[in-house]
Chain A
Amino acid sequence: MNLLEPSKLALKSLFSNKLRSFLTTLGVIIGVSSVITLVSMGEGAKSYILNQVSGWGVGANSLTIHPGKSDSTMPELTLTYGDTIALRNKVDSIVYLVPEFIGKGQLKYGKKEYKPSFTMGVSSDYPLAINQKVAEGRFFSRADEAGRKRMAVIGKTVSRKLFGEASPVGERIKINRTGFFVTGVLEEKGAMMTFDMDDMVLIPATLAPLVLGTSKIWEIFLTLESEKDVPLAMKQVENTLLARHKKKDFHIHTQEGIIDIYNNILNALTGIVSAIAAISLLVGGIGIMNIMLVSVTERTREIGIRKAIGAKRNDIFLQFVIESVMITMSGALIGVVIGTGAAWGIMTYLKLQAVIAYGAAALACFGALLVGVFFGVYPAMRAARLDPVEALRFET
Chain B
Amino acid sequence: MSGNNVVRIQDVKKIYRMGKMEVAALNGVSVDISRGEFVSIMGPSGCGKSTLMHILGCLDRPTEGKIFLDEVDVGGLDDNQLADIRNKKVGFVFQTFNLLPKLNAIENIELPLIYAGISLEERRRRALELLELVGLKDRANHRPSELSGGQSQRIAIARALINNPSIILADEPTGNLDSKSGAEIIHLFKELNEKGITLIMVTHDQDIGRNSKRIVRLKDGLIIEDEKVK
Task: Point out residues on A near B: beta carbons under 8 Å.
Answer: 1-2, 5, 12-13, 16, 301-302, 304-315, 388-389, 392
Whether A13 contacts B102 by the Cβ 8 Å rule is: yes
Interface presence of B98 (CB below 8 A): yes
The residues of B with any CB-CB pair to A shorter than 8 Å are 54, 57, 59-60, 79-80, 83-84, 86-88, 92, 94, 98-100, 102-103, 111-112, 114-117, 159, 163
- Chain A positions within 8 Å of B60 at CB level: 388-389
Chain A residues positioned under 8 Å from B117 (CB to CB): 1-2
Could you say which residues of chain B place their CB within 8 Å of the CB of A315? 115
**In the complex the two chains form, what is the Cα distance from A199 to B111 in whole Å?**
76
Contacts of B99 in A (CB 8 A): 305
Is the CB–CB distance between B116 and A310 below 8 Å? yes
* B87 & A12 in contact (Cβ 8 Å cutoff): no
Q: Which of B54, B80, B87 contacts A309 (CB 8 A)?
A: B87
Contact call A305/B102, Cβ cutoff below 8 A: no
Q: Are A16 and B112 in contact (CB under 8 A)?
A: no
Q: Which residues of B contact A2 (CB under 8 A)?
A: 117
Shortest beta-carbon distance, B38 to chain A, in Å?
21
Known: A1-B115, A302-B100. 13 other contacts (CB 8 A): A12-B102, A304-B98, A306-B111, A307-B83, A307-B86, A309-B92, A309-B111, A309-B115, A310-B112, A311-B115, A313-B83, A314-B80, A389-B54
For A306, what are the chain B residues with a Cβ–Cβ distance below 8 Å? 100, 111, 115
User: A-side binding surface: helix, strand, loop or mixed?
Assistant: helix
List the 4 closest pairs (A to B, CB-CB), nearest first: A310-B87, A310-B115, A312-B83, A309-B112
Among B79, B88, B114, residue most surrounded by chain A Cβ atoms (within 10 Å) = B114
8 Å CB contact of A308 from B79, B80, B86, B102? B86
Cβ-defined contact, A305 with B98, below 8 A: yes
Query: Closest Cβ of chain B: how far from A154's Cβ, in Å?
Result: 76
Q: Is the CB of B59 within 8 A of A309?
A: no
User: How distant is the Cα of A12 from the Cα of B114 in the complex, in angstroms?
Assistant: 15
Given that A305-B98, A308-B57 are contacting pairs, would A313 and B92 also be in contact in the complex, using a CB cutoff of 8 Å?
no
**Contact: B86 with A309, CB < 8 Å?**
yes
B83 pairs with A310, CB closer than 8 A: yes
B87 and A313 within 8 A (CB): no
Q: Select A312's contact among B79, B111, B163, beta carbons within 8 Å.
A: B79
Q: Given A389-B59, A392-B98, answer yes or no on A312-B80 (Cβ-Cβ < 8 Å).
A: yes
Contacting residues, chain B, for A308 (C-beta < 8 A): 57, 59, 86, 92, 98
